[in-house]
Structure 1
C-alpha cells in the first residue's frame, strides 16, 4: 500500500536545507507525494528525514523517488542489496574535508544519500555549503574569469572507495569550476578540496585562485549543519553543494549506508 500523507517541509536554514516530516519512507509513496518531495529537493538541496530506520532495500526505494540509483564500480557492496555501500569510519576513515562525491567520473553523482546506523553520543555532525549561493556573491569580473577555468581531479575510481590508500593516480579528469545545474539551470561553484590544479591560468595563478575559492565556498555564510541519530535518512544535491563530516568525536562509532544516483528526475510542474 502506498502512503498518501502530505510532507511537512520545515526549512532548516535561510539559504537551503529542510527537514521532512509526515512521510513514511518504509512504504511506497504515491505520485503526488513523490512530486512534492522532488520539488522540495530541487529547492532545498539537502533533505533530512528523521527516524526512518530504512532497510537497505527501502533506502534504494527511497532514493528512487528522486533518481535511479547508481551501480558504483569499486565500492564495497552491502550483502542485502548491491546498490547500497556500507561505511564504518573505524575501517574506512573519516571524510573530514570539504568535498564533492564522484569527481572521478563525468557527470559526477547527482545525489548522495545516507542512512545512519550508529552515531557517536556527541558530535559527528555534517556540514553542507551552498555552492550556488557562494557563486552568486562573487563579482561579475571574477565570474567571467572562472567561466573559462576547469579544475583537475584524479580519475582513478579505486581511490574513491572505502579505505583506499590512494597510491596510484588515474588519468586526470577535468570539471568546470562553474557548473550550470542540469535541472534548474542555476549556476554555482563546482570545486572540491581534492582539486589538483586549475586549467586556463598559470600554475601560480591557479594556486591563488584555488585557495581563494576553497576558502570562499566554505565560509560559514553558506553552510548548514545537521546532527544525527540512528535511523536518520539524508540526501543531498551533489551538484549544488559540498559537504564536510566533522571529526570531533575521537574513536567513537559512526556507521552508515550510502546510496548514489547520477541522473535526477525532473520535478513535476505544479498545478
Structure 2
C-alpha cells in the first residue's frame, strides 16, 4: 500500500539543490506525492533524502518515481539487484573531476543516484554545479557561438566502468555544448572534463574555449556542497548539472550504491 506523506522541500542554495524532509522511501509513496517530488526535482535538480538506508530493491523503486532504471552494459552489478551498481573507492578509484555521467551514449543518463553505505569520518563531500544558470550568465554573442559547437567524447562504455583501465579511443560521440533540457526546455551548458576536443572551431580555439567553459561552469557562483552520513540517498539531474567528488579523505572509506535513470519510452520533450 502506498503511504500518504506530508513533507517539506528545504532549499540548500539560492540557485538549486534541496533536502526532502518527512518522506520514508523504504515505503512506496502515493501518486500525488510522487508528482510533487518530480516537480521538486525539476525545480531543484539535486534532491537529498537523509537517513533512508534503502535496500537495493528500494533504491531502484525510488529512482523509478523519476525515471526508468537503466541496465548499464559494462558496470559491475550488485548481487542483490541487476540494476544496482556497487562502488568502493578503495577498489574502483575516485571520481574527483567535474563530470557528467553516461557521455558514451546519446542521450546521456537523465538521472544518477547514490545510496551511501560507508563514508569517511571527515571530508568526502560532493559538489554539484548548475549548468543552466552558468549558461544564463554568458553574453548573448557567446551563446550564439556555442550553439554551433559540439564536444567530442569517448564512445566506449567499457572505459567508463568501475576501476577500468582506459584503452585507446576507437569510436567517439558528439554532444552539443548547449543542451535544451528534454523535460523543461531550459537551455544549459553541457560540458565535461573528459571532452577530447570541440567541433566547428580550430584546435587552438577549441582548447581556449574548452578551458574557459570548464572554469566558468565550475565557479563557486554556481555550486552547492553536501556532506554525507551512511543511509543518505541523493539523486540529481544529469542533464542540468555536473558533479565532483572531493578527494580530501585520504584512504578513508567511501562505499555507495548507484542506480541510473533514463527517460521512459513515450516521454515527451518540452516544446
TM-score, normalising length: structure 2: 0.97
Report the aligned-residue RMSD: 1.2
Worse-matched range after superposition: 166-175 or 7-16: 166-175
Partner residue in 1 for 2:210 = 210
What are the ranges of 5 or more consecutive residues in structure 2 without an aligned counterpart?
Answer: none
Instruction: Report if the CA contact (8 A) 1:111-1:237 is conserved.
Output: yes
Partner residue in 2 for 1:244 = 244
Partner residue in 1 for 2:230 = 230
Residue 133 in structure 1 maps to residue 137 in structure 2: no
Instruction: Report if the CA contact (8 A) 1:110-1:262 is conserved.
Output: yes
Distance 1:12 1:223 in 2: 11
1:131-170 superposed matches below 5 A:
131-170=131-170
Instruction: Report if the CA contact (8 A) 1:46-1:237 is conserved.
Output: yes
Distance 1:247 1:87 in 2: 15
Shift of 1:167: 1.8
Partner residue in 2 for 1:70 = 70
Distance 2:202 2:29 in 1: 52
Partner residue in 2 for 1:108 = 108
Partner residue in 1 for 2:88 = 88
Residue 260 in structure 1 maps to residue 260 in structure 2: yes
Distance 1:262 1:190 in 2: 17
Shift of 1:18: 0.3
Distance 1:35 1:70 in 2: 21
Shift of 1:266: 7.0
Shift of 1:262: 1.2
What are the ranges of 5 or more consecutive residues in structure 1 without an aligned counterpart?
Answer: none
Shift of 1:231: 0.2
Instruction: Report if the CA contact (8 A) 1:38-1:266 is conserved.
Output: no
Shift of 1:2: 1.4
Distance 2:8 2:69 in 1: 25
Partner residue in 2 for 1:10 = 10
Shift of 1:6: 2.2
Distance 1:47 1:260 in 2: 15
Instruction: Report if the CA contact (8 A) 1:34-1:65 is conserved.
Output: yes
- Structure 1 residue ranges, 4+ long, deviating more than 3 angstroms after superposition: 264-267
Partner residue in 2 for 1:195 = 195
- The residue matched to 1:225 in structure 2 has which SS? strand
Distance 1:188 1:84 in 2: 29
Distance 2:138 2:239 in 1: 18
Partner residue in 2 for 1:172 = 172
